[in-house]
Amino acid sequence: MTKSINRRNLLRGSAVVGVGALAAPAVHAQEGQTLKMQAAWGGGIFLENAQSYVDRVNEMSGGSLKIELLPVNSVVKTSQMQDAVHRGVLDAAHYVPAYWYSKSKTASLFGTGPCFGWSSQEVLGWVNYGGGQQLFDELMGSLGLNVVSFFNSPMPAQPLGWFKNHITSADQMNGLKYRTVGLAADVLLEMGMSVVQLPGGEIQPAMKSGLIDAAEFNNPTSDRDFGMQDVSKHYHLASFHQSQEFFEVTFNKDKYNALAPELQAILKYASEAENSNFYWHNTKRYADDLVTLAEEQGVNVYRTPDSVMEAQLKAWDIVVDRISGEDPFFAKVVDSQKTYAKTVMNYLNLNQPDYKLAYKHYFG
């Protein structure tokens, strides 16, 4: 009697009567394959997010593919992760493009670029349906990088951060020593700040010692985990310096191409699924931790004044124009983003009700 065809048996190379053509050697060779992925995170909510993506892949693959997640610095330093994946020292990495933008400032446009009136959600829309992924692949080709990347997890706008004093005007930013990464460093330099690029774990000690006057990392949960509330009581939310960002999961291209198509699809669609999970999961955690910072740990929480954010937009204009004049590909990506944002945000701005109005109606 002919055995019923079972997808898992096919993936594991089990004998199936009458379907020898389907049980290709390439599929059989992948039984129990493990990919080692290093994260840029040593702990905290971002490592949880990386683990969530890995768990989705492992569960969806039914044992035919497994990702082993390694914390920060397990094999190489964060600054070396992309090269390690390119060379096959690592099979994969979980980080953000701003961590390797020194190779090309265009990288920062994929997550920490200028705000054209859009959020991380719309930037990911551009990546998937506005030509962004194709432009990213073109960038990888121009840099000669042997990697395949997917993007996920639309982050809320990052706070302006922690300061020694309450910031009420853009003038107060001038001369401050400030920590940030990516193109945001160029923008804040344009605003008159002195910028230091430090790994997340070094931010709090640097502010405590006086090496820096102010800093941002990403969100209330991570900031609280770092202990920023112990070195500052002035926390400013809302900013255009990094108002849209998301994770990049990158794989060695040779390893990725050797996978069966259904396993390649799992890596891609697990990334898409993590978009929703991240937003639901992290937004609640951020909100809860902001309450804890304010009500239990004595932090003064402010909304960044409009004068600061207007100065940021003007600085972005200068930085984008300068780099576009130096790098035609950078200009090409910016033009693509503007085309997408102009159309999509026109619709959203016309259609979305004023949610803040409704919030005030119910909660004051």
Domain with residue 248: its CATH number is: 3.40.190.170
CA distances from 181 to 102, 178, 199, 200, 256 (A): 10, 10, 9, 10, 29
Question: How far is 242 from 186, CA to CA, in rounded Å?
Answer: 12
Contact assessment for residue 279 and residue 247, using Cβ atoms and an 8 Å cutoff:
no
Total domains, the chain: 2
Output the pLDDT for position 15.
Answer: 30
- Four-CA torsion 274, 40, 216, 354, nearest 10 degrees: -10
What domain range is 118 assigned to? 33-154+244-283
Residues 123, 44 within the same domain: yes
Give the DSSP H or E segment for 168. none
Are residues 47 and 114 located together in one domain of the fold? Answer: yes
What's the Cα-to-Cα distance from 147 to each of 92, 112, 150, 191, 319, rounded to whole Å? 9, 20, 10, 35, 28
Question: Six-digit token pair at 192?
Answer: 């008159």
CB 109 within 8 Å of CB 330: yes
pLDDT at 181: 85
Asked if residue 124 lies in contact with residue 246, where contact means CB atoms within 8 angstroms, the answer is yes
Q: Tens-digit pLDDT profile for the chain (364 aa)?
A: 433 333 333 223 333 323 333 333 444 444 579 999 999 999 999 999 999 999 999 999 999 999 999 999 999 999 999 999 999 999 999 999 988 888 999 999 998 899 999 999 999 999 999 999 999 999 999 999 999 999 999 999 999 999 999 999 999 999 999 999 889 999 999 999 999 888 888 899 999 999 999 999 999 999 999 999 999 999 999 999 999 999 999 999 999 999 999 999 999 999 999 999 999 999 999 999 999 999 999 999 999 999 999 999 999 999 999 999 999 999 999 999 999 999 999 999 999 999 999 999 999 9
Same domain, 220 and 315: yes
The Cα–Cα gap between 26 and 13 comes to: 9
- Same domain? 259 vs 124: yes
On whether both 149 and 177 belong to a single domain, the answer is no
Q: Kindly give the residue spans of alpha helices, DSSP state H, lying in the chain.
A: 7-11, 25-28, 44-60, 81-87, 120-129, 132-142, 183-190, 203-209, 220-226, 253-257, 261-295, 306-326, 328-351, 355-363
Residue 197: count of CB within 10 angstroms of its CB: 13
Q: Please report the pLDDT score of residue 154 as a whole number.
A: 94
Q: Is 27 domain-assigned?
A: no
Q: Return the closest-CA partner of residue 38 out of 74, 2, 11, 14.
A: 74
Report pLDDT for 31.
59
Judgement on whether residues 121 and 209 belong to the same structural domain of the protein: no
Domain membership of residue 233 (yes or no) is yes
Do 94 and 135 reside in the same domain of the chain?
yes
- Between β-strands 214-215 and 177-179, what pairing exists: parallel, antiparallel or unpaired? parallel
Identity at 24, one-letter amino acid code: A
Predicted structure pTM score: 0.87
Q: Which residues pair with 152 in a beta bridge?
A: 247
pLDDT, position 29? 41
pLDDT value of position 200: 80
Signed CA dihedral, 309, 313, 316, 318: sign only: negative
DSSP count for the chain of H helices, then E strands: 14, 11
48 and 125 fall within a common domain: yes
Q: Is 178 helix (H, G, I), strand (E, B) or coil?
A: strand
Q: Are 29 and 48 in contact (CB under 8 A)?
A: no
Residue 66 domain flag: yes
Q: Is the dihedral of CA 247, 60, 47, 88 positive or negative?
A: negative
Same domain membership, residue 261 and residue 216: no
Same domain for 224 and 173: yes
Q: Is residue 186 part of a domain?
A: yes
CA dist 46 and 229 (Å) reads 19
In terms of phi and psi (left: phi > 0; alpha: psi -120 to 50; beta: otherwise), the region of 39 is: beta
